[in-house]
Structure 1
C-alpha cells in the first residue's frame, strides 16, 4: 500500500496506520486497532477523533462498546476536493504576498547631457549584452561624438555586446563606424516604425532617451526588462540588415549596369 499518497492528503503517520488497520479489520474497537498497529491507546483515540472529523471514519455503539469503521474510501476524494477548495481560497492572498515581496521598479529621471552619459556608463558597467532600439540620428551628435567614441572604446574593452536596431534615416557615416566595431551589430527599422525616442534594454532595466527636451528616464525592474527585451526580439525579426536607401541604390546600379550591357 502506498502510504505516501495518504500522507500527501494531510494524514499524519498515526492516522494512516489507524485508517489502513480499520480497512483490513473492518468494524473494530480502539483496543483492536491498538493491538493491530501496536500504537499507544491515547494515540489511537487521537487518530480516530481526527479521522472522524475529516469524515473518513464513523463509529457506532454495539451494546455499551464503541466500534469504529472506515467510511467509503471515496470519501478520500472529498477530502482532496476540500483541501483544493481551501487552497483556492488562500491562493489570491499567496499571490499578493509574492507580488509584495518583489522589489518595486525603481524610476529615475536624469536631465541633460550628463544624465545621458551617466545612464550609458551605468549600462556598460552592469551588463555583458544590451539592446538599442529606434535611436534618432541626432542622438550621438547631441551627446558628443568624442565622448561616444571613448564610451565605445571602454565598452569594447569590457567585451560588452551592443545590438542596435536604429531608425532607417540614421547617418551613413555612423552606420559605417558602428558596422566596423567589434561586439556590435546593427539593423534598421522600416521607415513606418521610426521612433523619436531611444530605448536601451540591459540586465537591470530599460532606459528611455528623449531629445526635446534632453531627458533620460531609467526604470529598473525585472518585469519591464523582460517585456522590452521580448519586444526587441520581435522587431529584430522584421528589421532590415542594410539601410533602405543603400539597398535601393544597389538595385539602381544593377539596373544601370544591365542597361549598359544591352548596348
Structure 2
C-alpha cells in the first residue's frame, strides 16, 4: 500500500521498496537492503544512487563499512514543499510560453468512453461559479449515464452554470423544471429545427465536440479566438430563441 502511494509521488517501484526497507531497517549495508527487498545486489546500487541524488537517503560509514540511511518522512515532505515553491515561482514564465502565440490553437483527440470522460472532466477545472455554454445533445446520457450523473453532481458542487440550447422533448422539459437546483439555464428549440448528434461545450478558451453517431470521439480545441467566436454564435442563437 505504501509502495503504491510513493509511486504516485514520483518514486519508481524499486526506489519505493528500498526507501521503505531502509525506514524499517535503519542504517544498513547493501547486502542487507538487497535481502530485505529481494532486489538483486547488482541492480540495487542504481536505485540507491537515484534516491541519494533526490535527497531521500544519505550515506554513512561505520567500522569502515558504507551504510545507507533513509531520511525522515518529514524531510521528504520538506523536499516536496520546496519543489512546489520552485514550481510556483516559474509558473508565470511557463504560462507566458503557452500564451505567446494565441493565433495557434491546440487540438486534442479523445477516443472511446474513457477518452470522452477525461475530456468532459476538464471543464470541472473551471473556477467556482463559472459558465459552460452548450449545444446540447441527448447522446451523452445514452452512452455515459452513470458518468453524467457523477459529473453533474461535481459541477453543481462547484456552482458551475450549464447554459444550454436544447431540442424540445419530455426530458428537456423535465430538466427545465429542476433547472435552478441543477444550475441549468435552457433555451428549447423545436426538434424539427434542432436535433444534434454532436454535443458542443464552450468554456474558457476551449471548445469541445463529442460525437456519438458512428464512433465515440471527442475533439478539444484550445484557442481564445475560436472560443470567443463560438460564444458569439451561441449568443446569437440564444437571443433568437
In the alignment, is residue 229 of structure 1 matched against residue 231 of structure 2? yes
What TM-score do you get using the length of structure 1 for normalisation?
Answer: 0.48
SS in 2 for 1:150: helix
**4+ residue segments displaced more than 4 Å:** none
In the alignment, is residue 114 of structure 1 matched against residue 114 of structure 2? yes
Q: Counterparts in 2 of 1:1-263, with a 5 A limit? A: 101-102=101-102, 104-127=104-127, 128-133=130-135, 135-144=136-145, 146-169=146-169, 171-172=171-172, 175=175, 179=179, 181-190=181-190, 191-212=192-213, 213-239=215-241
Q: Distance in 2 between matches of 1:231 and 1:207?
A: 15
Post-superposition offset of 1:118: 1.0
What TM-score do you get using the length of structure 2 for normalisation?
Answer: 0.52
Deviations along 1:19-43, whole A, 9 cap, x unmatched? xxxxxxxxxxxxxxxxxxxxxxxxx
Post-superposition offset of 1:149: 1.6
Deviations along 1:156-189, whole A, 9 cap, x unmatched? 1112111111122463576257525342212212
Q: Distance in 1 between matches of 2:119 and 2:154?
A: 14
Post-superposition offset of 1:192: 1.4
Deviations along 1:25-70, whole A, 9 cap, x unmatched? xxxxxxxxxxxxxxxxxxxxxxxxxxxxxxxxxxxxxxxxxxxxxx
CA RMSD across the alignment? 2.2
Gaps of at least 5 residues in structure 2 are 1-99
Gaps of at least 5 residues in structure 1 are 1-99, 240-263
Paired residues, what number?
Answer: 138
Paired residues of 2:139 and 2:197 also in contact (CA < 8 A): no
SS in 2 for 1:109: strand
Q: Which moved more, 1:199-208 or 1:118-127?
A: 118-127
Q: Distance in 1 between matches of 2:225 and 2:153?
A: 31
SS in 2 for 1:136: coil
Paired residues of 1:201 and 1:228 also in contact (CA < 8 A): yes
Q: Distance in 2 between matches of 1:178 and 1:108?
A: 34
